[in-house]
A and B are shown apart, each in its own frame.
Chain A
Amino acid sequence: MIWVETLINGALLGGLYGLLGIGLALVFGVMRVVNIAHGEFMVLSAFFAVLLAAMFPSVPPLLMLIPVIAVSFVVGWAYQAVIVNRVIKSPDPLAPLLLTFGVSVILRNVMVEIFGADVRSLQVGELSRASLEIAGLSIGIMPLLTLVLAALLFMVLQLILRRTEFGRIVRATADRADIVRLSGVKPDRIYNYVMGLSLALGAIGGVLLAVRSSFTPFSGAERLLIAFEVIVLGGLGSFWGALLGGIALGMAQLIGLKIDPNAGLLYAHLLFFCMLLIRPSGLVSSKA
């Protein structure tokens, strides 16, 4: 029974991991850039949420998500407009990778200097301890809410990209950034919105992960690696694949922690590496 519970909890955690991956996948899908600073931006949004929660103790902490998402969107927009767009047209495919890595080092160390290296977490009070009893299994309300929210966001994102004009423009830009100019689209502007959207999604993941477990300014690397593993496992470009990849990683991590309590992310990393050997194309290799 304890194993079933572990598997279910792993799946719930996986929903959150899928959310981490989707922001990274969006940017990669549209502009072929792996934003190495994605994890640091997530940690930054978690710090912002903790700060807001301390300033307004009477407001429920989860409501802080709204301003955090808004600010993250603006930060992402500016980050793309000021920094990333300048190297994105470089013929060297390594330039954006190196640049975003540089930004991640800057952000990490600024956070260490400003907030200190202490371990923090976002307290949501009763909600984090509440749980449901179903057929003898105890399932946390908060992780369940997280998975539902993740699935909802996936659907909304899918709808936006499939059905709206903005979505069509984004997909067209992803396919041929040079040709969309003929229809009056400025790819740079689309990239700004996409990066904003990506960091807003990352902020949701970052804040929810800060509720679930603790974080330090150094957590960014962990977050990035998880997000990256999610999209590789899930197969590129597939949203539902990312959710599946996240669930596989979440289960691997929790099973690993059951066997070896101080394993951390070791088993999630090992699963990723084994999958890389067996199926480099990912669990779901569709070109959605």
Chain B
Amino acid sequence: MPTRTILVLCAAVLVAAMAGAPFVLNEGFLRLATECLLLLTMAQMWNLLAGYAGLVSLGHQVFVAFGAYSLFMTAGWLELTPIWVLPVAPLVSAIVAAVIAVPLFRLREAYFSIAMWVFAEIIGALTMKSSFAGGTAGLPLATSKLIDFDWFEPIMFWLAAALTLGTIGALYRLMISSFGLGLMSVRDNDLAAMSVGVDVRHNRFVAFVLSAAGCGLAGALNFMGNLYIAPLAAFDVNWSVYMMFIVIIGGIGTLEGPILGVIIFFGLREIMTGPLGLSGGWYLVGLGVLAVVVMMLFPRGIWPVLRDRIGVRLLDVHRTPPCPAAAMALNELSGRTPG
């Protein structure tokens, strides 16, 4: 069976499973599943930036917060059911990303990472001071009375599931397109990529804006589920910590890695805070230790190791390079020279 057919079949099964899940799972499980899916989307978005565009952002919480705040405020002004206002969230986050990219893209590597963090701190501090955004107290969802609460949890789950499947599908398409190839070539060697005509800046810019938009939408959905937003929760640096750990543990620069990472992330959380009865702080310590150990033993994450061991390729966008001309010439040469 060709890979394409398998993928389409898998997608169909997944869509059916997601559609039916709310009728089978109880409310607690459904909420957990929604949380998993939203965090998976954010991790994929962070991975798009770090794993494919080579930009590590330690301030991605700012896009989560922009998405969520724009949803809460627009829903209040327009007095609409929050679901219809959702498109505003990725739009606002994308615009912010496009503007902030101008100064930030002058910086490379660690400078970009920390400048992003400083930007998030500035916006967080300004939000806490602005009365129209609710200040330190935060905002309730103004139009929550328009929500049909019988269907609220299932709808949230379906939205999260659609977002996640859509994100992974779109990323897969993106990575097998010429844009994706350009992006990966920039990550691997930006000098070589530029020399064959890849527009490095443009590729990075598009990845940054897309990543911000996805995080904005996922953040808006997350806080819509809570019906309440507070700046300390929205601008929490732990958003970036979670995204990073999921990607690092699962496998940076792969589409399957974050899926594996999210399973480990929530599995560890349920075990450590449930049966073991440990606090959230110790859970983060455990997760951090796991991430550090993975980074030292398998710098590319767990998934690539697992993939090579069991030989399974799921959403593989890997290409084998053709034998380089220089190597061929060398082979020929060494064949001809005696001895």
Binding site for B on A (CB under 8 A): 28, 34, 36, 83, 86-87, 90, 92-95, 97-99, 101-103, 105-106, 109-110, 112-113, 221, 224-225, 228-229, 232, 260, 263-266, 269-270, 272-273, 276-277, 280
Contacts and interface: CB of A to CB of B under 8 A. Distances in A.
Nearest to A236: B111
A113 B286 CA distance: 12
Nearest to B122: A269
A224 B59 CA distance: 14
B17 to A, nearest CB: 33
B110 A106 contact: no
B109 A273 contact: no
B78 interface: no
A105 B295 contact: no
Contacts of A28: 110
Contacts of B241: 101, 105
Interface residues of B, number: 39
Interface of B: 50, 54, 56, 58, 103, 106-107, 109-111, 113-115, 117-119, 121-122, 125-126, 129, 237, 241, 244-245, 248, 279, 281-282, 284-285, 287-289, 291-292, 295-296, 299
Contacts of B285: 106, 109-110, 113
Contact of A266 (B107, B126, B284): B126
Contacts of B126: 266
Contact of A102 (B54, B106, B118, B295): B295
Given A263-B125, A264-B125, A273-B118, A106 B56 contact: no
A117 to B, nearest CB: 9
B117 A225 contact: yes
Contacts of B299: 87, 90, 92, 95
Given A95-B295, A105-B288, A225-B121, A276 B245 contact: no
Nearest to A272: B118
A276 B119 CA distance: 11
Contacts of A105: 241, 245, 284, 287-288
Contact of A106 (B114, B117, B292): B292
A69 to B, nearest CB: 26
Contact of A103 (B107, B111, B245, B288): B288
